[in-house]
Structure 1
Amino acid sequence: MPSAFRTGTTLVVRICDRWEPREWFALSADPFYRDPEWGRDADLKPSKEGKGTMTQRYSDLAAELDARFPDGYAPGGVSVDDIVQLRLQNTFDTHLDIARAMAKVMRADMAAYDADPSRFTQSLGCWSGFHAQQMIKAVKRLRGTTKGAYVYLSGWMVAGLRNRFGHQPDQSMHEKTAVVDLIEEIYVSLRQADEVAVNDLFKDLKAARETGDAAAEKAAIAALDGFETHVVPIIADIDAGFGNEHATYLLAKAMIQAGACCLQIENQVSDAKQCGHQDGKVTVPREDFIEKLRACRLAFEELGVPDGVIVARTDSLGAGLTQKIPVSQQPGDLASEYIKWLKTEPVDAANPLLDGEVAIKVGGQLVRPVRLANGLFAFKEGSGRARVIEDCIANLTEGGADLLWIETDTPNVKEIASMVAAIRKVVPNAKLTYNNSPSFNWTLNLRKQVRAEWIAEGRIKADAYPDGTALMSASLDDDPLGLEADARLARFQADISAEAGVFHNLITLPTFHLTAKSMDELSRGYFGPDRMKAYVNTVQREEIRRGVSAVRHQHEVGSDLGDAFKEMVSGERALKAGGHGNTMNQFAAE
């Protein structure tokens, strides 16, 4: 069954198992969305309750205010154009409005992906608003649009880099409010990018009017009317909920109010939570996890975000432990399906039940679940894949999740595709968010895969290339094996989206590693023999040549915004920072 279909001027979209009409929105083709019938601005029209979001247009606002103030000025001598500018710069009234609007963006993107799996979306994990802002600006320079680009908010990076207790591991050892604060900060930064960009467009408009250039004025108005916000969806990591289902609900509400349209929650035990790529992971029974999914859904509904998206993550592939044995009410229920994977020993005369031990009946036989000294129960070895598939089906059918996340130990398209194929036998349109994790040694993994395939196909002998870590050798970079591995890296996201139902590809910790690498690169040169040459070569010259707007750092943080506002209220009396003596003028032509 399709996820959407067009009838006349209406787009009917399937949302949470219901069909809803949407105004069809035509968008000219762009490098990312080649089909003009799909656009991420669809359904973001101004509402009766308040101003719109990214589709608010200069022409409409100017007409509205001209009707109110025919002489061009509001009381106190405030210019109508100045009011229009500030209205346009304020792209959203509240961050809850952002959550509502971005949820619609994600729903439209999900429908577009269902129609064409090549339309997957992407994000990078950001641990500050500035990282997110610069990422989205780069996407806009590259594509001319932000379509398909989100921000991922990683609990790992909050724990490691935004933690008042210091740099801590990904074990829910950071304050709950730190995640909320980062969502808020990211959207403040993205909205400021809007303000700076809109202010620049108004400078063009004013310059055109001052010179009487009608063509330039028309172009400036068209640019303002077509302005696309830097605000994009955030997929926000709520870890395992930081407590029971009520604690999950309270934190979810705070995250949504900060602007999150999408919450990602995992099926680990809150007080024993581990990074998805570490050992010692402990999962909760499926009923417990479904209660937390419901808590997130109720938070979205209470706050008027019916399109809110929930990503249900399962860590069962690498989790060999559970904290408790659920109570089964009848054969085949969620509890019995969870219990059947426990590692057990038979209870009989030769192996009797001792005081303090636990026994359960499985398949009519009394057995003893294997329990560790810490009271945790072990699963059968090799059961992870089957538990993942059952988790995912339950999360979609019983928990109402919208997207799945399967945490894997290696980046293997075929392995993930096989699990998704099993899930889709029950839920045909199941979609994934996939972690293209820095915890994987991508070079080594892909080269191992190529080597193994070539040996299996008879293309090479087993001793043609080294095995293990020797495959990392730089001597293989230009070798056919290295080149083939790199080619697979380049198309990995496209392959996994087409073959394994991955709607969203993200990298959790890129800005952690990028910051470490960049600071190492600059420090080695600056504190070494190159001194200032290191800064210029590795930073400033590249900023200029790539067109990175941050090279004009005063402008980037809103200096021109301040000047523009001073002019609005003070006119010729305004004391401006951007005059002849501003050294940022050295970059004006860049």
Structure 2
Amino acid sequence: MLRLRTAHTISSFARTAQRAMSSTALPPHPPSLDEEAAQFEARTKDMEDFFFQPRFEGIKRPYTAASVASKQGTLPVTPLPGSLLADKLFALLKNNAGDGKPVHTMGAIDPVQMTQMARNQEVVYVSGWAASSVLTTGNNEVGPDLGDYPYTTVPNQVHRIFRAQQLHDKKHYDERMTATAEQRAKMPFVDYLRPIIADADTGHGGLSAVMKLTKLFAESGTSAIHLEDQLHGGKKCGHLGGKVLVPTSTHISRLIAARFQLDLMKSTMLLIARTDSESGKLISSNVDVADHEFIVGTTTKGSEPLAQVLSEAEARGATGAEVDRLEKDWTESHEMSTFNQAVEKAIASSSILDKESALKTYLSAVDSKPNSVAREIATDILGEPVFWDWDAPRTREGYYHYTGGVEAAIKRTKAFAPYADLLWLETKSPNLEQAKYFSGKIRVQHPGKLFVYNLSPSFNWSQHGFSDASLKSFVWDLAKEGFVLQLISLAGLHSNAVTTAELSSRFKEDGMLAYVELIQRKEKEIGCDVLTHQKWSGANYIDRILSTVSSGSSSTSAIGKDSTEHSF
């Protein structure tokens, strides 16, 4: 009876606490033990309700609502502004995916590009490559995309863009609300509050770093981030060589850590799981069984391990070029393959009569099994062990060789899918058939998942066999295969370069004629609002605020009769 009464009391307190949670007021005195228990019960229930929003359908959390609620602290957890845009992004993606249409956009590197893209693009993309090359914080040391810039860099850029979005939204809203109905009817509506998708690279460290980075993104107004399965410290741009992958389970842990951090904040920011395994040729560890079938070893016996050969060469003073040549010679003189390929070759050269059946039996038996078990099964079938060494080819850094390829990418992406909202296959070429094959394989197991495609300027699009018609339809063809979110990651950077290069060249010879022809007349022709850059920056908007709060005279107005922008 006492237990029932106590439970009833706590439940009553919980209802009171639930109502109190809708208020941001904090009580002046510490709660009683019963009140504290009731508040935690209410908070846990609130988190459970958050977990079961339709927004999170298909998302797996290997932790409880209580484990999140206990880490939130006393302060009420209120939704961040970025969650409003994250929900907007989710609805946009779902609606377009249902219609087989893309949400396609371009990478913006500053507020100018953001405002111009807002007139046509439904989302904004912020690239880590661009951050590394032109936008880094700290000591402003720019360089290639190796993920070695301060982890505050991309969140800061998002914050810059998000703040700019809010300014231009307020400016635009004020223009519309102070206009007459007739004027407003003629005024194009521009939605500046476009969801921002940002590059989180590898997470910039261990799981605590992933959580801190995720928190920064959420607080900065980000609607979605993507995390890739490369090694922090070995990270390369997706279209550079030498990429080092982490074990599948390591990247899953990153995704879980990011989700846990978002749950702590009750943020609906989307997580995108990206894999670079299609072209990845190294992996940091063989600890995960899921990766074993794609690790490369050698069937060549009786030689020193590659790392030892290189270490001895460096010890005797070999040059960098000599070390590179030794590594190349070693790999070329050793027969390299996965263990399954080694077994297939061994069966082909064996005395087994039905070789095709033996291979099929082997492959079926070893599916999802560790290499140690695969070795035992191969020995049973062949009657003797298959020599295969995955340690001998390891690099000086200790990395294992890896096959890469679309099958490896499919297996990894299936493992990532329960923990992510969208899935991204980074490819070495734009290939519609490969994309179709990839999404088809994933959707058998995860039918509701949406996909991301990088329409990368790293591809030489003119050399990939596209006709003008197929180039034009590529984005829409991809969308039909589930690739709803598509982006030209560095379009802003390249367009900036082209415009500046052309203007600089012409200006040197033609002076102001070049500027007027290439810039000012074109701005006016296409209706670019940066033509009147003072107004674009918010001068009119701020001037109206200052006039409101100070009742200033027109002579102090920034947009008075002396403003040169009246000439446009």
Q: TM-score, normalised by structure 2?
A: 0.70
Q: Which residue identity lines up with residue 559 of structure 1 in the other structure? A: A
Preserved CA contact (<8 Å) 2:307 2:396: no
Matched, 1:363 2:324: no
**Shift in CA distance, 544/311, structure 1 to aligned 2, threshold 3 Å:** same
Residue 395 (structure 1) aligns with: 416
Residue 116 (structure 2) aligns with: 134
Matched, 1:509 2:490: yes
Preserved CA contact (<8 Å) 1:252 1:299: yes
Preserved CA contact (<8 Å) 2:80 2:218: no
Residue 539 (structure 2) aligns with: 559
Matched, 1:290 2:252: yes
Residue 144 (structure 2) aligns with: 169
Separation of aligned partners in 2, 1:320 and 1:496:
26
* Residue 317 of structure 1, aligned match among 278, 294, 300: 278
Separation of aligned partners in 1, 2:425 and 2:306:
38
SS in 2 for 1:204: coil
SS in 2 for 1:230: coil
**Correspondence 1:269-348 to 2 at 5 A:** 269-305=231-267, 307-326=268-287, 335-346=288-299
Q: CA offset at residue 248 of structure 1? A: 0.6
Matched, 1:495 2:477: yes
Preserved CA contact (<8 Å) 1:133 1:186: no
Preserved CA contact (<8 Å) 1:262 1:310: yes
Q: CA offset at residue 582 of structure 1? A: 1.3
**Shift in CA distance, 492/347, structure 1 to aligned 2, threshold 3 Å:** closer
Provide Cα deviations, 1:320-368, integer angstroms capped at 9, x if missing partner. Answer: 1011111xxxxxxxx22211211123598x68999999x9634325742
Q: CA offset at residue 18 of structure 1? A: 6.7
* Residue 234 of structure 1, aligned match among 177, 188, 196: 196
Q: Which residue identity lines up with residue 389 of structure 1 in the other structure? A: I
Matched, 1:16 2:35: no
Q: Percent identity?
A: 27
Residue 21 (structure 2) aligns with: none
SS in 1 for 2:226: strand
**Shift in CA distance, 314/181, structure 1 to aligned 2, threshold 3 Å:** same
Provide Cα deviations, 1:262-297, integer angstroms capped at 9, x if missing partner. Answer: 110000001100000000001011110000001111
Matched, 1:436 2:409: no
Separation of aligned partners in 2, 1:160 and 1:375:
29
Separation of aligned partners in 1, 2:307 and 2:161:
55
Residue 65 (structure 2) aligns with: none
Preserved CA contact (<8 Å) 2:546 2:552: no
Residue 435 (structure 2) aligns with: 416
Residue 539 (structure 1) aligns with: 519
Residue 189 (structure 1) aligns with: 164
Matched, 1:407 2:407: no
**Shift in CA distance, 296/580, structure 1 to aligned 2, threshold 3 Å:** same
Matched, 1:377 2:339: no
Preserved CA contact (<8 Å) 1:267 1:289: yes
The number of aligned residues is 425
* Residue 220 of structure 2, aligned match among 233, 258, 267: 258
Separation of aligned partners in 2, 1:344 and 1:394:
24
Which protein has the bigger helix share? 2
SS in 1 for 2:285: coil
Residue 98 (structure 1) aligns with: 81
Residue 578 (structure 1) aligns with: 559
Residue 7 (structure 2) aligns with: none
SS in 2 for 1:564: helix
Q: CA offset at residue 127 of structure 1? A: 1.6
Separation of aligned partners in 2, 1:15 and 1:189:
28
Preserved CA contact (<8 Å) 1:446 1:489: no
**Shift in CA distance, 584/275, structure 1 to aligned 2, threshold 3 Å:** same
Provide Cα deviations, 1:348-401, integer angstroms capped at 9, x if missing partner. Answer: 8x68999999x9634325742131233211023xx421110001100013xx11
Gaps of 5+ in 2: 1-51, 60-75, 310-338, 340-370, 377-384
Preserved CA contact (<8 Å) 1:347 1:353: no
Separation of aligned partners in 2, 1:183 and 1:517:
24
Separation of aligned partners in 1, 2:388 and 2:99:
49
Separation of aligned partners in 1, 2:307 and 2:471:
55
**Shift in CA distance, 13/573, structure 1 to aligned 2, threshold 3 Å:** same
Preserved CA contact (<8 Å) 1:129 1:185: yes
Residue 26 (structure 1) aligns with: none
Larger RCO (CA within 8 A; separation ≥ 6): 2
Separation of aligned partners in 2, 1:422 and 1:105:
28
Residue 125 (structure 1) aligns with: 107
SS in 2 for 1:343: strand
Q: CA offset at residue 259 of structure 1? A: 0.6
Preserved CA contact (<8 Å) 2:247 2:291: yes
Provide Cα deviations, 1:431-454, integer angstroms capped at 9, x if missing partner. Answer: 21110000001111134xxxxxxx
Separation of aligned partners in 2, 1:353 and 1:282:
20
Q: TM-score, normalised by structure 1?
A: 0.68
Q: CA offset at residue 422 of structure 1? A: 1.4
**Shift in CA distance, 354/240, structure 1 to aligned 2, threshold 3 Å:** closer
Preserved CA contact (<8 Å) 2:202 2:228: yes
Preserved CA contact (<8 Å) 2:93 2:485: no
Residue 30 (structure 2) aligns with: none
Greater Cα radius of gyration, structure 1 or 2: 2
* Residue 445 of structure 1, aligned match among 464, 467, 475: 464
Q: CA offset at residue 228 of structure 1? A: 6.2
Which protein has the bigger strand share? 1
Separation of aligned partners in 2, 1:101 and 1:182:
19
- Which of 426-435 and 267-276 deviates more? 426-435
Provide Cα deviations, 1:76-107, integer angstroms capped at 9, x if missing partner. Answer: xxxxxxxxxxxxxxxxxx9x633111111122
